[in-house]
Structure 1
Amino acid sequence: MELARCDFLNLASARSVFCEDYAEARRAFLAAADGAGLTVDSRAHPKRGPHGEALACDVVWIGPRAARRVLVLMAGTHGVEGFCGSAILTDWVMGGGADRLPDGVAVLLIHAINPHGFAWLRRVTEDGVDLNRNFIDFSEPLPADEGYGDLAEALIAEAQTSPDWQALQQYQLQRGRMGLENAITSGQYSHPDGLFYGGKAPTWSRRTLESVSADYGLADRSGLCVIDLHTGLGPYGYGELICDHPPASKPVSYARQWFGDSVTEPLCGTSTSGPKRGLTDYFWHQLVEDRGCMLTLEFGTYPFDEILTALCADHWLHAQGGIDWSAPHARAIKTRLRHAFYPAQADWQEMVLFRGRQVVRHALAGLASLVSW
């Protein structure tokens, strides 16, 4: 694909940054970086994509290496959700973002932290692990099951590609809608073939993120803002800023000062997301401390039941063994999952770009306001 420099005022013309697959998205991001004269630090993944393509997490540092304040933008934590995050990163670079940095502020772009999931149209990593449930202390006993075991058979069974809705509705009658969603999504460590599985050890993507943060000295900066880009939760096209820092903490104060009252908090019950285990957020919280904030920018797509159906079918498919990428049933399942997390439609794409640009602009202004540092 050919990408001309984005017209930063025209959302419709900028929609070319949305790509058809991981390989095209990577090419677009690398081309944008090259066009802006930026150096790419590529962390090669040990496996390949469905067409034999190389996989990597591509990292770009923009601005002075000694900058005391840094904005981190991360895409692809949940693989297939990377279409959105990749577009936001590429759009910002192509729109001349590197030329408009505040004094003393740098930006770190992390493109496709879970490249295997992005390429194979999966939400999980190459070992079936949800990276956003993988950040726990594995030297301690694994977290106890909080309801997933009661639903595991209803979600993924040998003879079905969709959930057993009758069983799920029965559970909902007993525990309520939020009880059902939390049991499914909060993070489980007992069913490796299941949804939202946190794993038994740090994944390649987790280790890569830890090494990137160390290599770029993020813990030594005096101001940090981290935005992790996601899709699939909330109203169609709306970008919700989710803050998992402890309520009334300094990072929450920064989040509200910089981004306004649209910031939501799962721990206060104001978010479309409930409390989760093993989030990447908790890794970032340790680095940010009281020197900024970490937020998830979550773009809504379709209702929970549609998302769940697509996820269950994908997990069922991979539970059968090796994937024939060209098989009609596999393509149908993958197409459905891709659509669930990436509606390739003009209205959704334009809402994503508008909100993405807005959040990046506010983050940079917020970091610039830390004059005391």
Structure 2
Amino acid sequence: MSTAADNFSASYAEARSRLHEAARSAGLAVESIAHPLAGAQGEPLALDIVRDGPADAKRVLFLSSACHGVEGFCGSGVQLAALRDAAWRERARSRGVAVVVLHALNPHGFSHLRRVTQENVDLNRNFQEFSQPLPRNEGYARIHGLLLPAQWPPTEAAQAELMAFVAQHGMRAFQAAMSGGQHEFPDGLFYGGNAPTWSNQAVREALRRHGRRAEQAAWIDFHTGLGPQGVGERIYSGPDEPNELARARAWWDGGGRTPVTSFHDGSSTSAPLTGLMYGAAAQECPQAEWTGLALEYGTEPWDVVAHALRADHWLHLHSEAPAAQAQAIHRQMRDAFYTYTDTWKAQVLAQAFDAMDQAVTGLSA
């Protein structure tokens, strides 16, 4: 008898293989946008697309994983469960909703256990108008050198200096400075890039292929790393527009049972961000009415997650690090964004299917 945990994979290569198998079993085709580089195991990388529903469907639900590479263990598990659940897919079809699975938006990061793309770019800070001046993160500029010291682990003195910034400005300000996105330090954390990445362009191509005939579209993007362990925060993903936020809350808040937060009004655990991926939806498929949600599952406390991210970026800059240290940092990254317990995995799927059902209802209402 299968369990919720059976949908979660131990590597990108396994996740991709199982996705293809599930699609074949469901009689669905897989489209692949091939990545130019190989994965950590030498495996081919791709953004894989599986559509269940007619090409001319007017209502489309997008389900995407691995925007932030290593977070793909979670989203891939949800996608595999959805493809294996014939009853759920039939409910969507019966309501006139086509479901489009976008597996591994950032396959390089997923495979290499990094949050960023091969360009060291945070994909969800990369959707900027690069012909215009890019936003400057003054807070990050102050702490860049403290986040990535010359040696790892940091010395007590280096860590004390960083903690002094936190003590002076508060943890919320520190989180905003570190994670809000920056375009000045290509080797730094949460770097938004100075041009569209491969993944940026692949996401746009997938949206064009499967969104341009839709009149209404919903997009649930699965993330991990913020909030209490196992809790899926429903974060509105869209512009600072009251009517769109109200529609997202009407669809997904379950009458107050599952509140929808937003960094636009300060209710989310996420810091205010720019260059977000949702902007591509309206740009590539302007004819559709879009309603977006980021489902963000908690794993470890923020300080643990932040420490893992700092270590990963330090390792990226120090290829001379001993193999044992590199392996430990990779494990630390995986553990920070993927909780192995059966309880966590069951929580992930229960909340995901709830949100997916709500999206189908909202689209077909």
User: Which residue matches 1:10?
Assistant: none
Deviation at 1:258, TM superposition (A): 1.1
d(CA) in 1 for partners of 2:220, 2:286: 12
d(CA) in 2 for partners of 1:329, 1:95: 41
Residues paired across the two proteins, number: 356
Pairing 1:234–2:230 present? no
d(CA) in 2 for partners of 1:295, 1:226: 6
Deviation at 1:162, TM superposition (A): 4.5
CA 121–198 in structure 1, closer or farther in 2 if over 3 Å, else same = same
Deviation at 1:76, TM superposition (A): 0.5
Match of 1:62 among 52, 57, 62: 52
User: Which residue matches 2:249?
Assistant: 256
Deviation at 1:99, TM superposition (A): 2.5
d(CA) in 2 for partners of 1:306, 1:150: 21
**Aligned 8 A contact 1:64 1:104 in 2:** no
Match of 1:99 among 90, 97, 115: 90
Deviation at 1:289, TM superposition (A): 8.0
User: Which residue matches 1:35?
Assistant: 25
Segment of structure 1 superposing worse, 354-363 or 164-173:
164-173
Amino acid paired to 2:296: E
SS at match of 1:34: helix
CA 240–312 in structure 1, closer or farther in 2 if over 3 Å, else same = same
Match of 2:305 among 307, 311, 314: 307
Deviation at 1:247, TM superposition (A): 5.1
d(CA) in 2 for partners of 1:251, 1:223: 13
Write out aligned runs for 1:261-272 (5 A).
Answer: 261=256, 262-272=259-269
Write out aligned runs for 1:99-178 (5 A).
Answer: 99-101=90-92, 102-162=94-154, 164-178=158-172
d(CA) in 2 for partners of 1:103, 1:295: 20
Write out aligned runs for 1:325-336 (5 A).
Answer: 327-336=323-332
SS at match of 2:304: helix
d(CA) in 2 for partners of 1:363, 1:188: 32
Deviation at 1:28, TM superposition (A): 1.0
Which runs of structure 1 show a deviation greater than 4 angstroms over 4 or more consecutive aligned residues? Answer: 285-290
Cα deviation, 1:222-266, whole Å, max 9, x if unaligned, reads 111111110000110000110143456222122112112310111
d(CA) in 2 for partners of 1:359, 1:56: 26
Cα deviation, 1:10-48, whole Å, max 9, x if unaligned, reads xxx131111111000111111111100000001111000
User: Which residue matches 1:76?
Assistant: 66
d(CA) in 2 for partners of 1:329, 1:250: 49
SS at match of 1:59: strand
SS at match of 2:170: helix
Amino acid paired to 1:176: G
SS at match of 1:224: strand
Identical amino acids, percent of aligned pairs: 41
Deviation at 1:284, TM superposition (A): 2.8
Task: Mark the runs of 5 or more structure 1 residues left unpaired by the alignment.
Answer: 7-12
**Aligned 8 A contact 2:235 2:260 in 1:** yes
d(CA) in 2 for partners of 1:162, 1:49: 29
**Aligned 8 A contact 2:308 2:333 in 1:** yes
**Aligned 8 A contact 2:263 2:269 in 1:** yes
TM-score (norm 2): 0.93
Write out aligned runs for 1:200-349 (5 A).
Answer: 200-216=194-210, 218-246=211-239, 249-260=242-253, 261=256, 262-286=259-283, 287=285, 291-321=289-319, 327-349=323-345
Deviation at 1:168, TM superposition (A): 2.3
Match of 1:181 among 175, 180, 192: 175
SS at match of 1:267: coil
CA 175–312 in structure 1, closer or farther in 2 if over 3 Å, else same = same
Amino acid paired to 2:69: G
Cα deviation, 1:36-83, whole Å, max 9, x if unaligned, reads 000000111100011211111100111111110110001000000000
User: Which residue matches 1:20?
Assistant: 10
SS at match of 1:280: coil
**Aligned 8 A contact 1:238 1:351 in 2:** yes
CA 253–29 in structure 1, closer or farther in 2 if over 3 Å, else same = same
**Aligned 8 A contact 2:249 2:260 in 1:** yes
Q: Give the alignment's Cα RMSD to 1 decimal.
A: 1.8
